[in-house]
Chains A and B, each alone.
Chain A
Amino acid sequence: MPGLIGFYTFGEGRENWDASHFIHYGLNALQGRGQESVSLATIGQGNTLHTLSGKGGVEEFFQKNRASIPKGFIGIGQTSSYLEDYLVHVKTPYEMVLALDGTTDLHENRGEATKLFARQLSQLLHSEKEPLKATSMLINKIGGGYSFAALTHKQELITGRNPLGVKPLETGSVGFDISAVASETCALDVMGIDQTGSVETGEVIMFSPEDIRGNTPATDAGNFCSYEYVYLARLDSQVNSLPVAKVRNSIGRELAKTHPVKADVVIGVPETALPIANGYSQESGMPQEPGFMRTGENIRAALEPTQKERLVGVQLKLNPIKSAVEGKDVVLVDDSVVRGNTLRNTVLNLKRSGAKQIHVRIGSPTLVSPCPYGVEIPPRDELISGSLSEKELANNVGADSISFMTAEELQHAIGLPRQNLCMRCFENGGAKR
């Protein structure tokens, strides 16, 4: 899953801005969405697009390439959880680079589908007189679920969200000089740019040296990804104008109401589940205590690509704080369960640290299907909760009980109408592939 940034400048002296500095820190804030591949494209005076791509994390990319970072006063950037997932550079007929979060339905393979989308966009920008209208038609025609930012050789930044609206995209601006879009609002904050609201579903915004123009967005509210609220988005972001921190707290409260259990202490699995545990504690009246300390960087275990790295990630991040659990019955709150190995390690570590009973409460329904829009949820046969009952699962991970929220409970906690939430990963048969 990629995180996107688009950065645009106006006014006198715009040539003095260096987009790469802003994008650098903006992408840093989006690393929760992926840290396997980074790319950057910029344009300054003239018609030359400068691009650079590389593997690894954002900081590593910018440090390693310090001498060759593309410069210019407009730019786009992307950090991705996929290996070798870079900006697509189309040279003809209309030169542009494209960053895309999600998937288009133009091809079985996500990378190929993105390339095909880029080529169609380039073709349209070349042949159509009204690029905004043409792009708007394109995203209404091409299915899937995606948000994108494209930078053209004519110093245009074209950005949008397809009518399904499953992938987030937020706008911001500061002074009379800078406008930006980013997958999450936290990236705008880090770049020192004020939030100005979500790109609406089916909306295309086009920044050009002459003006900023937008089409009329889709009339439907869209089908927002519920997993953004549960796990993907950063706690300090707003997604579709809902603060993620507030939603996670209300998930915890809902979980305490619908899946109560008597225990001595509530422990959240860092980092994502901490605010959920906090909500559980507030609602149940049981105290929440910090149960783990992390060593090393925040590695997002669920999205780590290899089994080995995943285990290392878990070991490094979760050192139990013995005094918090010793001799106590524990409610262990996590956001979701993918393969079960993180949970198994965590429960085992807590029991070795002296916890008596461990009751696992999960702030989302069982994950049963891969995501059709490119979030790395593994194939069905790797999803533990799709294969085992709650009782079997509890035994498997060594917990005294385990229970998951239902889709209805999650929807209630998020507070959006059911038809405006994508829950395909939580529903059997929801995913096409």
Chain B
Amino acid sequence: MRVMGVGGGAREHALAWKLSLSDHKPEIFWIAENRNPGIHKICRDYKGELRIGRTTDPKTIVRSARGWGIDIVVVGPEEPGFHAIPDALEKEGIQCIGASQELSIIERSKADLRRLQWENNLPGKLLFRTFKNAREASGYIRKNIDTQPWLQNIVIKPARQSGGKGVKLIEDQQIYLHDEKERFKEAYFDSLQASMAAYSDIEDKILVEEKAWGPEYSLQCFTDGKTVLGTPLVQDNKSAHDFDSGPETGGMGSISGPDMTLPFITREEYDKSLKIVEGIVEAVQKKTGKAYHGMVGGQMMLTENEGPTIIEMYSRLGDPEAINMLSMLKTDIVDIFQAIAERRLSRLKLEFTNEDAAVVKVVAPNGYPEKREKAKGHPVQVFETNIKRNGCYLFWGSADLQEDQQVVTGGSRLLALMAMDHTLPPASARIEKTVSSVQLTDGWGLYHRSDIGTDRLLAKRRDAAERVRRLYKYREEHGILGSRMGWVPNLGRIDTSQLLLKEMHGPEKA
């Protein structure tokens, strides 16, 4: 059988690696925008080919799939879904594992995801408002900050995925810093408005959400539209540097195991999280009338108001979270893909190792994420025997194999190292011992996070989880989980969630 993958990052290298281990002995073909050295080698070894092409162009993808006679396509990143790649393949009668364009709305539009949650009264939501422009956003906050206290601590996001615009977390809790925070906030609204101006197809440009506080984790799932199968929880680390400091990245490394939960998340919280993701899949299918077949992920947080809460949704596997999950997966991946394609996932039982925990650490060139042009084009040297000797696995990410066989950096996250052990800290230590096996030969620097998977960081996560758990359990016991009731001088009792629903369905929207 012939399988084709789409995408050229570390997540896709891990998918290709897992395919290469399948008993179905598939021939492995791939389309990526960079010549990922890992995928390149696997394709060559498994009678396939890695072709460089635009992964968001349906024509390129369909032509290649037809030309190669592909049986199943698996889509790695989110962008091909946003650009209707799965839709185009299916129109040609080629099975595709990946959310179709309409379904990928749960990731593409962060505002639509929230609406979906509130319209269907699903658990695990956050208060939010959307705005057409910066003036409307700052005007609303200025006017309502006293009567809706959640507006003090907010997350600002582009209402839909937009050219690398990140999120801003603003806590406005010190009255003496209020003017400072307000100025920063409003300047960011302006900048979002400018960058979103290009999207004339949507009305809402700016999303403001309640800022929650608590430990984050990802729950990645396989679904055929009828059944949602959960995989082990993974925690990614988004800050560039140790102890959660520095700018936002795509993810600097992740932990999972040694069983389905994490050391700081309970089984009960896992089950609730899975229910939440199931609810989203059901709601988005109902809304679009399409069947979801592929991967779906909840980027979750334990929060004091709701317990398990959705921060964002993935219409795909996470990068690097996919590496953890696939490393722990014992079921043949081709069996899973076939079950999804044939809509019989309910009869499949996923198996994962329950003996080992997995740590993934991303290695990135200096300059990432803020000065990517400086981080690009540096020659890479890897001592593979050393990596193997330490029991680590290497997954290539933003890297390019040139014609002279030299690998150079692509400017984003270069590669990920993975190690497994009975618990997380020794796996983390093994990667620390190995990380010097990756070097840039022109003297440019590389960095990674040494704290991921260490006892010290785990203790911090456990501590945060316990604090939040105490708060949301209290709310649960008092029957006010998810409620946003408050009391405001002169106004008396207010229910912020009712206020939100009223504004969502108000006359101006009707």
Contacts and interface: CB of A to CB of B under 8 A. Distances in A.
A192 B174 contact: yes
B184 interface: yes
B174 A176 contact: no
A44 to B, nearest CB: 14
Interface string A202-230: 00000001111110000000000000000
Contacts of A18: 180, 183
Interface string A175-200: 11101000000000011100011000
Contact of B241 (A21, A175, A209, A212): A212
B166 A11 contact: yes
A12 to B, nearest CB: 7
B176 A175 contact: no
Interface string B416-457: 000000000000000000000000000001010000000000
Nearest to B174: A192
B243 A210 contact: no
Given A176-B248, A210-B366, A210-B371, A13 B174 contact: no
Nearest to A214: B242
B240 A211 contact: yes
Nearest to A18: B180
Contact of A210 (B171, B180, B370): B370
Interface string A81-109: 00000000000000000000000000000
A334 B174 CA distance: 33
A192 B371 CA distance: 28
B52 interface: no
A353 interface: no
B119 interface: no
A190 B177 CA distance: 10
Interface string B221-241: 000000000000000001111
B183 A175 contact: no
B264 interface: no
Contact of A16 (B165, B167, B187): B187
Given A22-B180, A192-B174, A209-B371, A16 B247 contact: no
Interface string A12-25: 11001110011001
Interface string A350-371: 0000000000000000000000
Given A196-B245, A212-B245, A176 B180 contact: no
Contact of A12 (B166, B183, B241, B374): B166
Interface in B166-213: 166-171, 173-174, 176-177, 179-180, 183-184, 187-188, 191
Contacts of A214: 242
A378 to B, nearest CB: 36
A213 B365 CA distance: 12
A174 interface: yes
A25 B167 CA distance: 26
Interface residues of B, number: 36
A338 B300 CA distance: 55
B351 interface: no
Contacts of A209: 370-371
Contacts of B169: 174-177
Given A16-B188, A176-B239, A213-B447, A192 B367 contact: no
Residue from the set B174, B184, B238, B246 with the largest chain A CB neighbour count within 10 Å:
B246
A175 B169 CA distance: 6
A25 B239 CA distance: 26
A12 B447 CA distance: 21
B139 to A, nearest CB: 19
B244 interface: yes
A282 interface: no
Contacts of B170: 175
A173 B174 contact: no
Contacts of A136: none
Given A209-B371, A210-B374, A17 B184 contact: yes
Contacts of B174: 25, 190-192
Q: Most chain-B CB neighbours within 10 Å: which of A13, A171, A174, A176?
A: A176
A196 B244 contact: yes
Interface string B271-296: 00000000000000000000000000
B180 A211 contact: no
A192 B240 contact: no
A17 B371 contact: no
Contacts of B184: 13, 16-17
A426 interface: no
Nearest to B181: A192
A192 B166 contact: no
Contacts of B173: 192
Contact of A10 (B179, B242, B247, B447): B247
Given A211-B366, A212-B245, A12 B171 contact: no
Contacts of A190: 174
Interface in B121-166: 165-166
A184 B166 CA distance: 31
A209 B241 CA distance: 13
B446 to A, nearest CB: 10
Contact of A192 (B167, B171, B247, B366): B171
Contacts of A17: 180, 184
Given A13-B188, A16-B187, A173 B243 contact: yes
A188 to B, nearest CB: 12
Contacts of A22: 177, 180
Given A16-B188, A21-B177, A212-B240, A176 B166 contact: yes
Contacts of B241: 211-212
Contacts of A212: 240-242, 245-246
Nearest to A172: B245
A214 B242 CA distance: 10
Contacts of A173: 239, 243-246
B462 to A, nearest CB: 16
Nearest to A189: B174
Contacts of B447: 211, 213
Given A17-B180, A192-B173, A171 B243 contact: yes
A389 B201 CA distance: 86
A21 B174 CA distance: 12
Nearest to B185: A16
B207 to A, nearest CB: 16
A179 to B, nearest CB: 5
Interface string A24-47: 010000000000000000000000
18 contacts: A12-B165, A17-B184, A18-B180, A21-B176, A25-B174, A25-B177, A174-B169, A174-B171, A176-B166, A179-B246, A192-B173, A192-B174, A196-B245, A210-B371, A210-B374, A211-B241, A212-B240, A213-B447
**7 A-B pairs closest in CB distance:** A173-B245, A175-B169, A176-B248, A196-B243, A10-B247, A16-B187, A212-B241
Interface of A: 10-13, 16-18, 21-22, 25, 171, 173-177, 179, 190-192, 196-197, 209-214
Given A176-B238, A191-B177, A197-B243, 11 more contacts: A12-B166, A13-B184, A22-B180, A173-B245, A175-B170, A176-B168, A192-B173, A196-B243, A196-B244, A196-B245, A210-B371
